[in-house]
């Protein structure tokens, strides 16, 4: 059974003088464990598609099943819980909280869990070690390099052991060495079973995915699986 199932998704941004049709009939199933790269020109709808998959945005039209649940009918409170417990987000600009330490930022990923303090501590330490940030627990984001900030953001995304990680141009603000390291960490997660979807402009990254989806003008222009 697919983890993500989108059928004929349309999305139009209203609120501005002119309504903008960002998605125009997207259908796709994504199975647990897949690594999907979404590519395509600027404005083609990549981020919109990722935000809908992440339930940050509700589609204007169409059906979306997450783990066989129709998320378009789930009340916002329950949806916030599903989002916080099942989905990890990684953004281009890291989105860390400036005045919280690395440890505290990562712990935010557990805000919906009721683990006792020791359990929480173990999960945070494990996530920190997984991204090689154990030695920076008490640092503030501004005391870190861009690559370290993104590793901290990845730890926050994975600390709650989500089923899926969504990353929107996760290496867009990094130099090539840090970009390669960041992608390596995400790939390692995927190798261990976490479903991974990234939006990327880097074809070298898309090449490493098990499936590439090319968006064009709000539609899936091409979907290809890597032969292995
Ligand atoms: N919040 C918004 N309000 C109005 N229009 C929006 C909004 N977000 C995106 N759009 C429009 O929707 C279309 C798709 O945008 P989207 O950000 O999904 O594209 P993208 O492929 O991710 O682009 P990029 O590669 O430049 O990030 C664009 O025409 C964009 O201008």
pLDDT 10s digits, 79-122: 999 999 999 999 999 999 999 999 999 999 998 877 777 889 99
- Asked if residue 70 belongs to a domain, the reply is no
> Which protein residue's CA is at the shortest distance from atom 5 of ligand 1?
13
Question: What's the average model confidence in pLDDT over 143-150?
Answer: 95
Q: Give the Å distance between the CA of 192 and the centre of ligand 1.
A: 32
What is the C-alpha separation between 148 and 133, in angstroms, rounded? 7
**Which atom of ligand 1 is found nearest the CA of 199?**
22
**Distance between Cα 40 and ligand 1 center (Å):** 12
Kindly give the distance from the C-alpha atom of residue 102 to the centroid of ligand 1, in angstroms, as a whole number: 31
In a domain, 187, yes or no: yes
Angle between helices 146-158 and 176-191 (to 10 degrees): 20
User: Do residues 46 and 22 make contact, with C-beta atoms less than 8 angstroms apart?
Assistant: no
Please report the pLDDT score of residue 82 as a whole number: 93
CATH number of the domain within which 102 lies: 3.40.50.300
| Percent of all residues in the chain with a pLDDT value above 70, rounded to a whole number | 99
217 domain-assigned = yes
Which tokens is 102 given?
Answer: 């690395």
For residues 66 and 218, what is the distance between their CA atoms, to the nearest angstrom? Answer: 21
pLDDT of residue 144: 96
Residue 228 has what pLDDT?
63
Using pLDDT thresholds of 50, 70 and 90, give the confidence band for residue 135: very high
Nearest protein Cα to ligand 1, atom 12: 22
pLDDT (tens digit, 9 = 90+) per residue, 16-57? 778 889 999 999 999 999 999 999 999 999 999 999 999 999
Would 201 be classed as within a structural domain? yes
**Considering the entire predicted model, what is its pTM?**
0.94
Domain hosting residue 207, numbered range: 32-54+85-225
pLDDT tier for residue 128 given thresholds of 50, 70 and 90: very high
Stretch 120-131: mean pLDDT = 94
Q: Which atom of ligand 1 is nearest to the CA of 201?
A: 25
Ligand 1: which residue has its CA nearest to atom 2?
A: 13
Show the beta-strand stretches assigned E in 120-210: 164-168, 195-199
CA pair distance 44, 57, nearest whole angstrom: 16
User: What pLDDT, on a 0 to 100 scale, did the predictor assign at position 48?
Assistant: 97
Residue 138 belongs to a domain: yes
Give the residue, out of 12, 20, 214, with the most ligand 1 atoms within 8 A of its beta carbon, to mutate for a pocket test.
20
């Amino acid at each position: 059974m697919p983890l993500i199932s989108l059928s004929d998704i349309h999305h139009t941004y209203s609120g501005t003088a002119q309504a903008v049709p960002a998605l125009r009939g997207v259908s796709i199933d994504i199975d647990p464990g897949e690594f999907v790269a979404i590519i395509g020109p600027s404005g083609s709808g990549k981020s919109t598609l990722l935000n809908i998959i992440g339930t940050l945005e509700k589609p204007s039209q169409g059906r979306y099943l997450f783990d066989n649940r129709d998320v378009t009918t789930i009340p916002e409170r329950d949806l916030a819980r599903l989002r916080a417990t099942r989905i990890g987000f990684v953004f281009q600009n890291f989105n860390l909280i400036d005045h919280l330490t690395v440890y505290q930022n990562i712990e935010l990923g557990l805000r919906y869990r009721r683990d006792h303090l020791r359990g929480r501590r173990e999960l945070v330490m494990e996530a920190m070690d997984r991204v090689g940030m154990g030695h920076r627990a008490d640092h503030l984001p501004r005391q870190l390099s861009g690559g370290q900030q993104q590793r901290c953001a990845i730890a926050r995304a994975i600390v709650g052991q989500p089923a899926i990680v969504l990353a929107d141009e996760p290496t867009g603000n990094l130099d090539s060495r840090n970009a390669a390291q960041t992608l390596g960490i995400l790939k390692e997660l995927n190798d261990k079973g976490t479903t991974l979807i990234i939006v990327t402009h880097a074809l070298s990254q898309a090449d490493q995915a098990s499936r590439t989806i090319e968006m064009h003008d709000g539609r899936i222009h091409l979907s290809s699986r890597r032969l292995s």
